[in-house]
């Protein structure tokens, strides 16, 4: 079986487990007044599970494949996997994990600016003044919107400054 079908099988199993949780375990503890609502808190997870399972089944059954053999332009050629920039992808994933771990102790502003600058450097941006300015403005705007407009507390500073 091809790699894409193995991945689709794994995603199908995850969607089935997620769907089981959404359909059979999430709604048991709802208060009586919420049980009369047309949309419950489990509605969106149910839709995600259904559409994910249908998409995975389409890949497993080969419904998205055409009759032509070989990869077309824009498709991943699994035989030449080392030709792609896997190092950049792994570096970005490691940076995401570091961001998640440093968000609380480092504060939102410092962690987010570091993530945006680091991610841009990994992807090849070399205009440093513009890069830092855009990262600072984007971080400030997001923090302002979440903190002030939505009213959700986001600790902006590192733990040792609080």
Note the pLDDT of residue 36. Answer: 77
Note the pLDDT of residue 49. Answer: 94
* Short-list 81, 77, 57, CA closest to 5: 57
Note the pLDDT of residue 4. Answer: 84
Note the pLDDT of residue 16. Answer: 95
Note the pLDDT of residue 69. Answer: 59
What is the reported pTM? 0.57
Note the pLDDT of residue 80. Answer: 73
Residues of the chain with pLDDT under 70: 1, 66-78, 162
Note the pLDDT of residue 76. Answer: 67
Q: What are phi and psi of 25, to 5 degrees?
A: -120, -20
Q: What are phi and psi of 131, to 5 degrees?
A: -60, -50
């Amino acid at each position: 079986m091809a790699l894409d079908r193995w991945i689709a099988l794994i995603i199908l199993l995850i969607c089935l487990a997620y769907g089981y949780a959404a359909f059979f375990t999430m709604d048991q503890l709802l208060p009586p007044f919420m049980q009369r609502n047309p949309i419950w808190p489990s509605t969106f997870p149910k839709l995600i599970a259904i559409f994910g399972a249908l998409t995975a089944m389409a890949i497993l059954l080969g419904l998205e494949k055409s009759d032509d053999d070989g990869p077309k332009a824009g498709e991943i050629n699994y035989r030449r996997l080392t030709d792609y920039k896997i190092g950049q992808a792994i570096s970005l994933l490691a940076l995401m994990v570091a961001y998640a771990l440093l968000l609380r102790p480092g504060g939102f502003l410092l962690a987010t600016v570091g993530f945006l600058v680091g991610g841009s450097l990994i992807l090849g941006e070399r205009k440093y003044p513009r890069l830092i300015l855009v990262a600072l403005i984007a971080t400030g705007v997001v923090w302002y919107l979440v903190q002030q407009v939505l009213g959700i507390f986001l600790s902006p500073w590192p733990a040792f400054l609080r």
